């Protein structure tokens, strides 16, 4: 097994992102290398448990652990405090102590909820990320953002809590349904827009191979995305500056998810639409050239991702944005591209924003 390693170096909470085909079968060995306590719980979903639960349990048992399995329902709409309380109930019932470790085996929803449970149970215990979706492997599992949704907005309740390890197996992506896989590519494209123009060009050149799950190209995309995010998090662990650029497309995207009840769009699908909206807003403000908007739209369409803003009420979209966690001093801030590979954080007035929303919604 050939393993790629990305080191995320922080002052107090450094850890490795290990990436390799079949690496889940070696999870127990990696945990032993971290000198963690004996109590381990795996938080997952029923479908993921059926696919990978046996190999994860066997790996942990071979390393001397007796893992407790905690299963959550599938879907963003279940990312709530009530469901996190179910995790607490299991941990209390099994007498978990501060030396215990949680393992998140699943996508971004499982990872966020497991991380938040780890951050808050007994005021903080260890956890490990084992991401099984593209979004989770390239973004959600890295950087220590944890949390749950509120009916009025996404990820409004949460904490920064870094994992001890991220264990990424690219081969699990072959079991994703097509829509889930493609939606995740939006987060990969995001890295090219905000930080790495050559990587954006790579995605343009190899879109067909990536779309077809070419293992070499997929491995490169995961490693490259992880390395970019690690570099950004190292520079700004708690999102006081540079790390904010990772929210590109998310202010629009989160509003879309919230107003459609987290049912109509996958997270990556909403982000794809949000990235185009942000690019068009940047163009409208004179920051981005139209040809770069066209390049972004063309790349997203190459992966059959929607780029059209849904027919939502502009006032409702604005209202959700006003509750976004990225609002500062009542001002709504957006990550706007200046060119492919570079972005700037800009506040946009409500009058300008509402007019823009009306135009793109009615387009």
Write out the catalytic residue numbers.
123, 145, 187, 229, 239, 243, 247, 250, 254, 267
Q: Which two tokens stand for residue 12?
A: 């107090």
Positive/negative CA dihedral, 269, 274, 280, 282 = negative
Contact by Cβ (8 Å): 6, 16: yes
| Other beta carbons within 10 Å of 204 | 15
CA distance 22 to 82: 34
Burial class (CB within 10 angstroms; exposed 0-12, middle 13-18, buried 19+) of 33: exposed
Q: How long, in residues, is the chain?
A: 363
Contact by Cβ (8 Å): 196, 225: no
Interhelix angle 350-361/267-284, nearest 10 degrees: 120
Contact by Cβ (8 Å): 105, 132: yes
Q: Element (H or E) spanning 157, and its range?
A: strand 153-160
Positive/negative CA dihedral, 208, 213, 214, 218 = positive
CA distance 299 to 269: 14
Q: Which two tokens stand for residue 6?
A: 């990305």
CA distance 89 to 130: 22
| Other beta carbons within 10 Å of 182 | 21
- The region that residue 261 occupies, defined by phi over 0 for left and psi between -120 and 50 for alpha, beta otherwise, is left
Contact by Cβ (8 Å): 134, 176: yes
- The region that residue 304 occupies, defined by phi over 0 for left and psi between -120 and 50 for alpha, beta otherwise, is left
Residue of 2, 178, 149 lying closest to 76 (CA atoms): 149
């Amino acid at each position: 097994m050939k393993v790629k390693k990305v080191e995320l170096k922080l002052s107090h909470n450094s850890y490795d992102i290990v990436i390799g085909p079949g690496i889940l079968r070696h999870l127990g060995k990696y945990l032993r290398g971290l000198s963690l306590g004996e109590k381990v719980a795996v938080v997952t979903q029923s479908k993921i448990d059926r696919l990978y639960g046996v190999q994860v349990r066997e790996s942990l048992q071979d390393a001397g652990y007796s893992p407790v399995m905690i299963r959550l329902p599938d879907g963003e709409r279940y990312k709530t405090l009530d469901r996190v309380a179910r995790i607490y109930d299991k941990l209390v019932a099994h007498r978990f102590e501060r030396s215990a470790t949680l393992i998140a085996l699943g996508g971004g929803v499982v990872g966020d909820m497991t991380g938040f449970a780890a951050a808050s149970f007994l005021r903080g215990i260890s956890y490990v990320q084992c991401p099984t979706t593209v979004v989770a492997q390239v973004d959600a599992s890295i950087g220590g953002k944890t949390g749950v949704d509120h009916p009025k907005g996404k990820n409004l309740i949460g904490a920064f809590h870094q994992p001890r390890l991220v264990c990424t197996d690219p081969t699990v992506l072959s079991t994703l349904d097509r829509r889930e896989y493609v939606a995740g590519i939006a987060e990969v494209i995001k890295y090219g827009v905000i930080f790495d123009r050559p990587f954006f060009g790579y995605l343009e050149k190899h879109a067909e191979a990536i779309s077809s799950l070419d293992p070499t190209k997929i491995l490169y995309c995961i490693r490259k995305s992880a390395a970019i995010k690690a570099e950004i998090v190292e520079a700004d662990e708690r999102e006081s500056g540079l790390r904010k650029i990772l929210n590109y497309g998310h202010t629009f995207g989160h509003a879309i998810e919230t107003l459609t009840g987290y049912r109509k769009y996958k997270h990556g699908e909403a982000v794809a639409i949000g990235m185009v909206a942000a690019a068009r807003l940047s163009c409208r403000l004179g920051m981005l050239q139209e040809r770069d908007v066209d390049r972004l739209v063309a790349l997203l369409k190459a992966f059959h991702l929607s780029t059209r803003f849904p027919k939502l009420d502009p006032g409702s979209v604005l209202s959700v944005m006003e509750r976004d966690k990225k609002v500062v001093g009542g001002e709504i801030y957006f990550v706007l591209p200046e060119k492919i590979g570079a972005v700037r954080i800009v506040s946009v007035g409500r009058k300008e924003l509402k007019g823009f929303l009306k135009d793109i919604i009615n387009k």
